[in-house]
Structure 1
Amino acid sequence: MPFEILPLLRYACCALACSMFVQTASAQQMAEDFEIHSLYESWHLPANESMGVFALGLRKRFGDYAAIGLDFYDAIEGQRGGFITLGVSGAIEYPISDRWLAEAGLHLGAGGGNGGYLLTGGGLMLRESLGVKYMLTRSDAVSLGVSHVDFPEGGKIRSDQFYFSYHRTFKGLFREGQPLFDDDELPAQYLDVHGAGYHQLAVILRNVAVPNSVQRLGGLPQSDLQQMGIEWKSYLDADSFFRAETVGAMGGSSSGYMHVMAGYGREYVLADGLCAEASLSLGGGGGGAVDTGGGWLSEIAVGLRKNIYKDWFLKASVGRFNAPHGNFTGTGYVLGVGRAFGEPMSQDYRPQSAAHVEYHPIRIRATQQTYYGRGNKWRNRPDQNVGNLGMQLDYFVAPQVFLTGQGLAAYSGDAGAYMTGLVGMGLHTPFWNDWFVEAEGLVGAAGGGGLAVGSGLVRQFNLGVGYQISDALAIQAGVGDMKAIDGLFAASSVSLSLNYSFNLLSLKY
């Protein structure tokens, strides 16, 4: 098919069914259940090779028995550091007794790495699972079960294995529908529910200075790495935070390198608007011939953050990277710019003192995007288009202006292992009844799959038109132009996405 739509329809069916289910309950519900989900399993690869995989995701629960969200799968054991996939996961569970539940899951994603299309073919990933879940507390649970993983677009991975997972459920203030920008009264019954809290989102640039003794896969010296990505921090209290980051290489002769890491940190106030912070992060990454072994990575970092204008800030940090099972280590120097959302938690905060909430308008786009190459040197298989699946997260800073972060991975075109992460800004304009048009400009990192992206730095411009199906759901089509800054990759893109809009609420106190 010139424009493959089946994977997006699978996305859409899961999202639409869950959305319709929750709308039948209460469109104005303000307290919703969310779940942080993690798991470990070991995949069986050809030639008796095994690969330990860790997954991390966030899901929204719909009713008592269903959940849907976004998951990353990341190699951390074996020989495939840098093997990463991302996609949409759905789960259904049913109680067996007071503490035991049966669970079934489905994941549709794309990606690969460190093995390329020989392992993953086009990159499309399907995973089904069946297991049992045990509730440790009202918020914490563990699961054990069996899963099947398949890369059906010409891939060699077909694996059955046991999995072990941990879940933590929490309530958040949430309102489905179009962006809201006014403060609102908080109904009394929600005073004891945690709001969206205090968060920070930053675009980061990192230079990793690598010692001369570090070698790439193949034995050549490893150059310094230049990276670009996104960092997210959620504050657990006034001084401590959870952090997550995903970055890709945009320089250093290692295009295709990517990592996903998460960790814990603490913050120390030095002066008004100036803070110091320290953090420890763990995760997985590799690709671009960077020798991370099985993929396991660690980083210890310290840094400073300075508020510059309202909720905007600048940050700088230095950290030490290490791949315990590979030949990669280095010192990372980070500069970033970001925005804070919500308000820092007061030490003397009491739920009864909260009377108002502030809305944070967010939109998630599950998207399918196809590249149509220009010229005969844009990739190593110039006669094949590349189909990508991914997620696009938008934050509306005004009714017609949004900031966006996007991650896509190849699922067809024998480009398994290609991934891209982009950030940018867009304009949204309603123009007739429920129709709207959009334009966005993006920059970021890309690599893998035989696409000629040079150092990995790319830019993309998109135009789109969409139709609002309901207050929360929309469908959108678009065209775009994508180009490597210092490589031969140049392509036109055609996309189709299913959009889901909602508002996170933070308490004002």
Structure 2
Amino acid sequence: MKKYIFLFTFTLIFTQILFSQTEIIPEKITQKGFAKIDFLSIEMPITNIPNEQNMGFTGIHYNLNFKNSFYTGVGIYGAISGDRGGFFTLGINAGLKKYLSNNFYLDTGLHFGGGGGAGAPDGGGAFILPHFNLGYDFKNFSINSGWSYVNFFDEGAIKNHQLNFSIEIPLDFNYAKYTSAEKEIDIEKFKMTKWNQKPKKNSLMVHFNNLKIKGNTQGINNGKTIKLAGFEFTSYINNNWFTFLKVDGAYDGIRAGYMDVFLGGGYHLSLNKNNTNILAKLGIGAAGGGGINTDGGFLLYPDLSIEQRVFNDLFLTINKGYLFTPSKDFYTSTFGLGIKYYLERNGVKTNNTSFTKGKFKGFDFILKQDMYLNAQRMTNPTEAMHQISLQVNFDLNKTFFVAGQTSFANFGDAGAYAEGLVGLGIKSRLLFNNSTNFFTQILGGAAGGGNISTGEGLIIKPSAGLNYKLSNNLKLRASAGYVKAKGGDLSTTFINFGIKYNISLLKLK
């Protein structure tokens, strides 16, 4: 009898241990995806620039792979040659990639977005960009090329067929379901799970930069200081080398509308027991708008930064750099301040003994369509304006989140209008059978272009709304709010509708 009692007790305890492990440790899920950089040379219509050159148009994209060869994602384009420096767009991608053999494949898809700028005939900003390409997969990367067609169809005049060229890099990521967000678990409990891998290092930074404008084509802007607000995302290749993506918009100093986007790499040197960092960076990208002449839009950006830890993974950063076109017709020194947050994510196999726990942190990726009911203009009559918008939220805890957002006009005769905003939000717990939650947020930052009256570019944008659950990762999203420009006439209510993709990432602490 004692033998049976012992076996029963042992079985019960062992089963409970297995059940607890399954319940506590969230499943690691892998999402297949790829990053893409493409280029096309667009023949421009003859308008205000006689014998205008082709506009060199380059894009940075990230796409998720799904079943049946389908992919979808987002991309941002910018002019890097021609006469339209400062021409930017944002849009969504969807396509099919079918392999003809182990290496050759056909890629057909569509990009729909909004944007414009630099005085180009972009109309309301809405455009389509279908493509049909033949590609070759080298496993670590692939190249493809073929036919594409661009059409700014909302009263725009840019319509043309052209070749396009692309390079793609596989870029998968691991995640857990969003319901795991804010779970904190001892690091030892991950050792027998699929999370027992080397972590990936990233950083997120919100910064403010000053540019002192110089150059022989700047006219009345020569010598002025542009004040920029922006966001930078960094991904580390190893302990020292990293890549980065940086986006800025002007909010003071000149007429609203200046924007820049940079992609680059750098070297990270840690000192003072990892409490102080020195970073050397070099970026290439596109910039312009706000009456600033950047030639075709292609710029170089060397920079040196010093960072100091202020709290756990939070650093204060100071940067000094240089920004210029290859012709030197536009050049400026840069000086800025920022707050940077580091995270070691999605792995626990590390030699750093200071990490004792893993915590799952929630991320939201929101694609939506805004409508400003009465978008006040500098000269044209007031009318509604629409824009496509991408927002990323990072949960501070179960209630508060920080947000970053970029938006580009796509209907309403304001094709050059764009926004770059950051802010803070509050959300409720799930209600109505765990299907719905409510939120409120306030964003602020840089906006301008498209003849919208935003003064020198600073706007404030509070809103409130709700999310409705479709699946573990997808929610419908709707909100309404108010936008007000400091120094401009823009002052109107807005509504938006969209879809939210939410996940949680494992962070070491």
Name the TM-score class by shorter chain.
0.7 to 0.9
Please report how far the alpha carbon of residue 347 of structure 1 lies from its aligned counterpart in structure 2 after TM superposition.
11
Alignment counterpart, residue 103 of structure 1, candidates 107, 127, 136:
107
Please report how far the alpha carbon of residue 505 of structure 1 lies from its aligned counterpart in structure 2 after TM superposition.
3.5
One-letter code aligned to 1:59: N
Contact 2:195 2:347 in 1 (8 A): no
- Closer, same or farther in 2 for the Cα pair 1:162/1:323, shift >3 Å? same
Query: SS of the counterpart of 1:414?
Result: coil
Please report how far the alpha carbon of residue 308 of structure 1 lies from its aligned counterpart in structure 2 after TM superposition.
0.8
Alignment counterpart, residue 339 of structure 1, candidates 316, 324, 341:
341
| Residue of structure 1 in register with 2:18 after alignment | none
Q: Distance in 1 between matches of 2:193 and 2:40?
A: 41
- Closer, same or farther in 2 for the Cα pair 1:190/1:62, shift >3 Å? farther
> Where in structure 2 are the equivalents of 1:64-463 lying within 5 Å?
65-116=69-120, 119-136=121-138, 138-178=139-179, 180-183=181-184, 186=190, 190=194, 195=199, 197-211=200-214, 213-216=215-218, 221-272=222-273, 273-325=275-327, 327-342=329-344, 358-373=359-374, 378-429=377-428, 430-433=430-433, 434-463=435-464
Q: Distance in 2 between matches of 1:481 and 1:301?
A: 37
- Closer, same or farther in 2 for the Cα pair 1:355/1:38, shift >3 Å? farther
- Closer, same or farther in 2 for the Cα pair 1:325/1:79, shift >3 Å? farther
Deviations 1:28-52 (A, max 9, x none): 6612222111111101110264100
- Closer, same or farther in 2 for the Cα pair 1:290/1:438, shift >3 Å? same
Please report how far the alpha carbon of residue 200 of structure 1 lies from its aligned counterpart in structure 2 after TM superposition.
1.0
Q: How many residues are treated as equivalent by the alignment?
A: 471
Please report how far the alpha carbon of residue 349 of structure 1 lies from its aligned counterpart in structure 2 after TM superposition.
5.5
Please report how far the alpha carbon of residue 346 of structure 1 lies from its aligned counterpart in structure 2 after TM superposition.
10
| Residue of structure 2 in register with 1:501 after alignment | 502
Contact 1:179 1:399 in 2 (8 A): no
Q: Distance in 2 between matches of 1:93 and 1:456?
A: 41
Q: Distance in 1 between matches of 2:443 and 2:177?
A: 27
Please report how far the alpha carbon of residue 452 of structure 1 lies from its aligned counterpart in structure 2 after TM superposition.
1.1
Deviations 1:82-104 (A, max 9, x none): 00001111221111011101111
Q: Distance in 2 between matches of 1:256 and 1:454?
A: 10
- Closer, same or farther in 2 for the Cα pair 1:347/1:432, shift >3 Å? closer
- Closer, same or farther in 2 for the Cα pair 1:395/1:202, shift >3 Å? same
Please report how far the alpha carbon of residue 502 of structure 1 lies from its aligned counterpart in structure 2 after TM superposition.
1.3
Please report how far the alpha carbon of residue 458 of structure 1 lies from its aligned counterpart in structure 2 after TM superposition.
1.0
Deviations 1:381-435 (A, max 9, x none): 3331111111111111211211110111111110010000110011111343312
| Residue of structure 1 in register with 2:12 after alignment | none
Contact 2:363 2:394 in 1 (8 A): yes
Query: SS of the counterpart of 2:171?
Result: strand
Please report how far the alpha carbon of residue 159 of structure 1 lies from its aligned counterpart in structure 2 after TM superposition.
1.3
Aligned Cα RMSD in Å?
2.5
Contact 2:190 2:348 in 1 (8 A): no
Contact 1:238 1:344 in 2 (8 A): no
One-letter code aligned to 1:65: S
Please report how far the alpha carbon of residue 483 of structure 1 lies from its aligned counterpart in structure 2 after TM superposition.
0.9
Alignment counterpart, residue 64 of structure 2, candidates 34, 37, 60:
60
Unaligned 5+ residue runs, structure 1?
A: 1-26
Please report how far the alpha carbon of residue 179 of structure 1 lies from its aligned counterpart in structure 2 after TM superposition.
5.3
TM-score by length of 2: 0.87
- Closer, same or farther in 2 for the Cα pair 1:471/1:282, shift >3 Å? same
Contact 2:124 2:410 in 1 (8 A): yes
Query: SS of the counterpart of 2:176?
Result: strand
One-letter code aligned to 1:424: G
Q: Distance in 2 between matches of 1:482 and 1:266?
A: 40
Please report how far the alpha carbon of residue 110 of structure 1 lies from its aligned counterpart in structure 2 after TM superposition.
0.7
Q: Distance in 1 between matches of 2:55 and 2:377?
A: 31
Q: Distance in 2 between matches of 1:500 and 1:51?
A: 34
Contact 1:172 1:194 in 2 (8 A): no
Q: Distance in 1 between matches of 2:477 and 2:345?
A: 33
Unaligned 5+ residue runs, structure 2?
A: 1-25
Contact 2:303 2:322 in 1 (8 A): yes
